C-alpha cells in the first residue's frame, strides 16, 4: 500500500487521514471541497457581509456598507432590513430542516401505532409513556401501540396552528417561559413560525429589523423546543435510549477485507434499518461468496452520530470527510438521506467503484441511484441497499484501496437519562461539583466543519483549553468526530483535564468530553440545562454554561445558535455570520439580546481567544450565583492569535 504523507496538505486539517486522502485525491485526479473553495475566491463581499438581496426581481440589490455606493435597495430596504431578512431566512431554513426531519420520525411513530409498518417498533416504552404524560395522554391500561398512535396524533398538532404554546417548551424554567411570553417569542406551531418567517421576509411585509429578528427567535425556538426535540425524543422511543459504550472513529474504521457501507445524512430511520439489514445472514453469506469477510458500517455526519450513540457503530469522519471517505477506494456504497450531503460525492464516486444511493424522494442526487424509502417496508429497502453494496464488492480495484490510519477509540452514548443514571439518578452530584468549583461550568461545542477553517482545529483547541480549566465539554454533530479523533473522548483523557474535572471523570469512569448525539440532539443540552436550572430554582441564563460552534457552516447551525441564545446560553461562533454589513444588527446580537434574553452571541474565530471569552463568562455567572469565582479580568487573552488556515 502506498503511504501518503500528505505533507502538502497539513494546512487543511489537523488530522493525518485527511492529509493522506487529500494527497491521494490529487493523485487520482479527484476534486475536493477545498479545491472548489479556492476556485470561488474572492467570494462576494456584499454576500459575506449580508447586504445583498435577491428576494424580488426589482433586484438583485446590494447596499454598500462602506458608504460609497447605494445605501438602499430598489424597494428602499436599507442594510438593517436586508441583513435581518437574510439572517431570519437562514434561521427558517435551518429550523425547517430539523423540524421536517422530526416530522418524518413522527410519521414513523404514527405508522407503528397504527400497525402499518413491518419495520419499526417501540424500543423504549418508558420514554413513550413519559412523553404521553407531557402531552396529557392517559396511558393506564393502554397498549404501547395505542399510546404511540395517540401521542403521534397529538404531536402532529405541534406542526399546526391550534396551539398557543408548544408543549415541550414547558420543560424550560418558568422564568424563561415568561421571557418568551413577554417578547411574543413563545413558539406556537412549528410550521406556522417557519411559514410566518418566510411571509414576513418577503418584499414589503415586515420592515422593522428588530421585529424581524424577534420572529427569527420564535422560529428558532420552534426548532429547539419543537421540531428538533421531537426528533430526538421520538428517535429514542423508536430506536432506543442511548447508553454509554465504546466505539471508534476516523478513516481507519473502514476495513480492507469487508464490504464497507457509509451511512451519510441525518435521519436514523434509514441508518437503523441498514444497520439491521447488515446483520442479515443471507447477506452475510453472500458477502462471503463475493470474497469479503463481512459487512462493515461507518457513519459520516449526523446520521453517523445517531447510530454511534445508539449502536456504537463507528464513524468514518465528519462533514469534510464525506468525499475523502470515498477516496479510500474501499467504500462499496454510500447511502444518503438528507442534509449536509455535498452533491459532489456523486462525482467523487465515479472515480472509484463506489455506488451512491439516495433514498428520500425529497433529496435526489443526479448521478446517484435512487431507492425510494418507504417507512412501511423499511427493512426490505434496507436489505435491498445492503445487497447492492455486497454485489459491488467484486468491482473494487485493489490497487486503488488505501486506508491511511488506525482508528481511534472514543466513548459515546451520553443521553441525559444515561448521565443522570451515572450520577445516581439526580443532577445533584453534578451541581455539587459545580458549586464546589471542581467543575467550573459546562460548554456545548457543536456543529460542522467549514473548509475556511483548518479542519477540526477550532473544535479541538477550544475543547482542550476548556477541559484544562475544569470546564466539562459536551459535544454533538461534527464536533464529536473532531474531538474523538483527537483522543479527547476516552476516560483516559481525564488526564488532559484540570485537577477538579479530572477527579470527577475518574470517579465516574467518564471522559471530560461527553457525546450527546447529533445536531437535533442539541436539544439534550437544553433538557440538561433546564434540569439544572429547575433543580437550583433559577433561569438557564444564571447558570455557568456556554455554547460554541467553532467551525459551523450550515443554516441549521444558525437556527441552533439562535435557540440556544434565546434559551439563555451565551454562544461563541467561530465562523463569521453574514451580518457585519449592519452595525445595528451586530450590536443587537452581541449586546442588545442580553437585556432581553440574558445571553448574547460573540464571534471569535481563534479558539484560544474563544476559550478566554467563555471562561470569563462562566466565572461571571459563578459570581452571580455566589459561587467561588475567579476574577474574569484576570483571565488574559493570548497574545498571539492562532493561525487558522
Ligand atoms: Ni447535523 S449540520 S455539518 S452533519 S454538524 Fe456536521 Fe451535523 Fe453541521 Fe451537518
Ligand atoms: Fe432589492 Fe428590495 Fe427586491 Fe431586495 S426586496 S431585491 S432590496 S428591491
* Distance separating alpha carbons of residues 390 and 392, to the nearest angstrom: 5
Q: State whether 394 and 429 are in the same domain.
A: no
* Distance separating alpha carbons of residues 30 and 41, to the nearest angstrom: 20
* Distance separating alpha carbons of residues 447 and 518, to the nearest angstrom: 9
Ligand 1 centre to CA of 9 (Å) is: 23
Residue 34 lies in a domain: no
Q: State whether 476 and 610 are in the same domain.
A: yes
Residue 5 lies in a domain: no
Q: State whether 290 and 372 are in the same domain.
A: yes
* Distance separating alpha carbons of residues 270 and 106, to the nearest angstrom: 14
CA trace torsion 44, 50, 54, 60 (10° rounding): -60
SS3 of 65-123:
CCCCCCCCCCCCCCHHHHHHHHHHHHHHHHHHHHHHHHHHHHHHHHHHHCCCCCCCCCC
- CA distances (Å), origin 554, targets 320, 447, 559, 613: 13, 8, 9, 23
pLDDT in the model for residue 373: 98
What radius of gyration do the chain's Cα atoms show? 24
pLDDT at 644 over 90: no
Residue 407 lies in a domain: no
pLDDT in the model for residue 173: 98
Hey, which of 46, 47, 57, 60 would you mutate to test ligand 2's pocket, going by the most ligand atoms within 8 Å of its Cβ?
Answer: 60
Q: State whether 558 and 599 are in the same domain.
A: yes
Domain count, the chain: 3
CB-CB neighbours of 174 under 10 Å: 11
Question: Sorting pLDDT into bands at 50, 70 and 90, what band is 641?
Answer: confident
pLDDT at 514 over 90: yes
Q: State whether 262 and 231 are in the same domain.
A: no
Residue linked to cell 486539517: 13
CA trace torsion 378, 384, 386, 387 (10° rounding): 160
Among the listed ranges 192-206, 278-292, 413-427, 466-480, which one has the minimum average pLDDT value? 413-427
* Distance separating alpha carbons of residues 334 and 347, to the nearest angstrom: 13
Nearest in space to 443 (alpha carbons), one of 483, 410, 396? 483
Residue 39 lies in a domain: no
What is the CB < 6 Å shell around ligand 1? Answer: 266, 301-302, 318-319, 340, 447-448, 477-478, 518-519, 554, 556
Cell digits for 135? 402531552
Residue 103 lies in a domain: yes
SS3 of 542-592:
HCCEEEEECCCCCHHHHHHHHHHHHCCCCEEECCCCCCCCCHHHHHHHHHH
> How does strand 245-249 pair with strand 408-412?
antiparallel
Ligand 1 centre to CA of 305 (Å) is: 10
Write out pLDDT tens, residues 555-598: 999 999 999 999 999 999 999 999 999 999 999 999 999 999 99
Q: State whether 433 and 530 are in the same domain.
A: yes
Q: State whether 464 and 522 are in the same domain.
A: yes
Q: State whether 197 and 284 are in the same domain.
A: no
Q: State whether 383 and 427 are in the same domain.
A: no
Looking at 374, 400, 426, which one is the last position of a domain?
A: 400
pLDDT in the model for residue 67: 83
Ligand 1 centre to CA of 482 (Å) is: 12
Question: Sorting pLDDT into bands at 50, 70 and 90, what band is 645?
Answer: low
- CA distances (Å), origin 164, targets 39, 91, 184: 48, 21, 11
CB-CB neighbours of 248 under 10 Å: 20
Q: State whether 273 and 385 are in the same domain.
A: yes
Q: State whether 418 and 385 are in the same domain.
A: no
Range(s) of the domain holding residue 338: 251-400
- B/e letters for 83-115, b = 16+ CB within 10 Å, e = fewer, are bbbbbbbbbbbbbbbbbbbbbbbbbbbbbbbee
Q: The domain spanning residue 379 has which CATH number?
A: 3.40.50.2030
Write out pLDDT tens, residues 194-231: 999 999 999 999 999 999 999 999 999 999 999 999 99
User: Kindly report the CA angle at 356 between 355 and 361, in degrees rounded to 5?
Assistant: 140
Write out pLDDT tens, residues 228-275: 999 999 999 999 999 999 999 999 999 999 999 999 999 999 999 999
Looking at 213, 239, 265, which one is the last position of a domain?
A: 239
Q: Are 241 and 415 in contact (CB under 8 A)?
A: yes
Write out pLDDT tens, residues 374-432: 999 999 999 999 999 999 999 999 999 999 999 999 999 999 999 999 888 889 999 99
Ligand 1 centre to CA of 87 (Å) is: 19
Q: State whether 368 and 470 are in the same domain.
A: no
Q: The domain spanning residue 189 has which CATH number?
A: 1.20.1270.30
* Distance separating alpha carbons of residues 332 and 389, to the nearest angstrom: 5
Q: What is the DSSP letter of 469?
A: T
> What share of the chain in percent tops pLDDT 70?
100
Residue located nearest, by CA, to atom 6 of ligand 2: 59
pTM greater than 0.95: yes
Tell which atom from ligand 1 comes closest to the C-alpha of 552.
Answer: 8
* Distance separating alpha carbons of residues 222 and 42, to the nearest angstrom: 36
pLDDT at 18 over 80: yes
Question: Sorting pLDDT into bands at 50, 70 and 90, what band is 642?
Answer: confident
Q: In 3-state terms, what secondary structure has residue 426?
A: coil
Ligand 1 centre to CA of 575 (Å) is: 14
Residue 36 lies in a domain: no
Residue 311 lies in a domain: yes
Write out pLDDT tens, residues 147-172: 999 999 999 999 999 999 999 999 99
- B/e letters for 348-372, b = 16+ CB within 10 Å, e = fewer, are bbebbbbbbbbbbeebebeebeeee
Question: Sorting pLDDT into bands at 50, 70 and 90, what band is 302?
Answer: very high
Residue located nearest, by CA, to atom 4 of ligand 1: 301
Looking at 239, 269, 293, which one is the last position of a domain?
A: 239
pLDDT in the model for residue 638: 86
Amino acid at each position: 500500500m502506498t503511504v501518503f504523507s500528505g505533507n502538502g496538505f497539513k494546512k487543511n486539517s489537523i488530522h493525518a487521514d485527511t492529509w493522506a486522502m487529500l494527497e491521494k485525491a490529487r493523485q487520482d485526479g479527484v476534486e475536493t471541497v477545498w479545491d472548489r473553495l479556492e476556485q470561488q475566491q474572492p467570494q462576494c463581499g456584499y454576500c459575506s457581509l449580508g447586504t445583498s438581496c435577491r428576494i424580488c426581481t426589482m433586484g438583485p440589490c446590494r447596499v454598500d456598507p462602506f458608504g460609497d455606493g447605494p445605501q438602499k435597495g430598489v424597494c428602499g430596504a436599507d442594510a438593517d432590513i436586508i441583513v435581518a431578512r437574510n439572517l431570519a431566512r437562514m434561521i427558517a431554513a435551518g429550523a425547517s430542516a430539523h423540524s421536517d426531519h422530526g416530522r418524518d420520525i413522527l410519521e414513523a411513530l404514527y405508522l407503528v401505532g397504527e400497525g402499518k409498518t413491518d419495520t419499526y417498533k417501540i424500543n423504549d416504552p418508558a420514554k413513550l409513556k413519559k412523553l404521553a404524560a407531557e402531552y396529557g395522554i392517559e396511558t393506564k391500561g393502554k397498549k404501547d401501540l395505542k399510546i404511540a398512535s395517540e401521542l403521534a396524533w397529538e404531536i402532529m398538532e405541534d406542526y399546526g396552528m391550534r396551539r398557543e404554546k408548544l408543549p415541550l417548551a414547558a420543560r424550560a424554567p418558568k422564568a424563561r417561559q415568561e421571557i418568551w411570553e413577554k417578547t411574543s417569542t413563545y413558539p406556537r406551531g412549528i410550521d406556522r413560525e417557519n411559514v410566518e418567517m418566510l411571509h414576513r421576509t418577503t418584499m414589503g411585509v415586515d420592515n422593522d429589523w428588530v421585529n424581524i429578528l424577534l420572529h427569527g427567535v420564535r422560529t428558532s425556538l420552534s426548532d429547539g423546543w419543537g421540531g428538533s426535540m421531537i426528533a430526538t425524543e421520538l428517535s429514542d422511543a423508536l430506536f432506543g435510549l442511548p447508553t454509554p459504550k465504546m466505539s471508534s472513529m476516523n478513516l481507519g474504521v473502514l476495513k480492507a477485507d469487508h464490504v464497507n457501507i457509509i451511512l451519510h445524512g441525518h435521519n436514523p430511520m434509514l441508518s437503523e434499518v441498514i444497520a439491521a439489514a447488515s446483520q442479515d445472514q443471507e447477506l452475510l453469506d453472500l458477502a462471503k461468496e463475493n470474497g469479503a469477510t463481512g459487512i462493515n458500517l461507518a457513519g459520516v455526519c449526523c446520521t453517523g452520530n445517531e447510530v454511534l450513540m445508539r449502536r456504537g457503530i463507528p464513524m468514518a469522519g465528519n462533514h469534510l470527510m464525506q468525499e475523502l471517505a470515498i477516496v479510500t477506494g474501499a467504500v462499496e456504497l454510500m447511502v444518503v438521506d438528507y442534509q449536509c450531503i455535498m452533491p459532489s460525492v456523486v462525482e467523487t464516486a465515479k472515480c472509484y467503484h463506489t455506488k451512491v444511493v439516495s433514498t428520500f424522494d425529497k433529496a435526489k442526487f443526479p448521478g446517484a441511484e435512487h431507492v425510494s424509502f418507504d417507512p412501511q417496508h423499511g427493512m426490505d429497502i434496507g436489505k435491498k441497499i445492503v445487497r447492492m453494496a455486497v454485489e459491488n464488492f467484486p468491482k473494487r480495484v485493489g490497487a486503488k484501496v488505501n486506508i491511511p490510519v488506525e482508528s481511534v477509540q472514543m466513548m459515546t452514548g451520553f443521553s441525559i437519562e444515561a448521565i443522570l443514571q451515572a450520577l445516581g439518578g439526580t443532577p445533584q452530584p453534578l451541581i455539587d461539583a459545580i458549586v464546589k468549583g471542581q467543575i467550573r461550568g459546562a460548554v456545548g461545542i457543536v456543529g460542522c466543519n467549514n473548509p475556511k477553517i483548518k479542519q477540526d482545529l477550532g473544535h479541538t483547541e477550544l475543547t482542550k483549553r476548556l477541559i484544562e480549566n475544569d470546564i466539562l465539554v459536551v459535544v454533538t454533530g461534527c464536533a464529536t468526530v473532531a474531538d474523538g479523533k483527537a483522543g479527547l473522548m476516552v476516560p483516559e483523557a481525564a488526564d488532559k483535564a484540570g485537577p477538579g474535572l479530572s477527579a470527577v471523570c475518574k470517579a465516574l469512569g467518564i471522559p471530560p468530553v461527553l457525546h450527546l448525539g447529533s445536531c437535533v440532539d442539541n436539544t439534550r443540552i437544553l433538557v440538561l440545562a433546564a434540569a439544572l436550572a429547575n433543580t437550583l430554582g433559577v433561569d438557564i441564563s444564571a447558570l455557568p454554561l456556554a455554547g460554541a460552534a467553532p467551525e459551523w457552516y450550515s443554516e441549521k447551525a444558525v437556527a441552533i445558535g439562535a435557540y440556544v441564545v434565546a434559551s439563555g446560553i451565551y454562544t461563541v461562533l467561530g465562523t463569521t455570520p453574514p451580518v457585519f454589513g449592519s452595525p445595528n444588527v451586530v450590536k443587537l446580537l452581541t449586546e442588545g439580546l442580553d437585556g432581553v434574553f440574558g445571553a448574547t452571541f460573540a464571534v471569535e474565530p481563534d479558539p484560544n481567544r474563544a476559550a478566554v471569552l467563555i471562561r470569563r463568562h462562566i466565572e461571571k455567572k459563578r459570581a452571580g450565583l455566589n459561587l467561588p469565582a475567579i476574577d474574569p479580568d484576570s483571565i488574559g487573552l493570548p497574545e498571539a492569535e492562532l493561525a487558522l488556515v
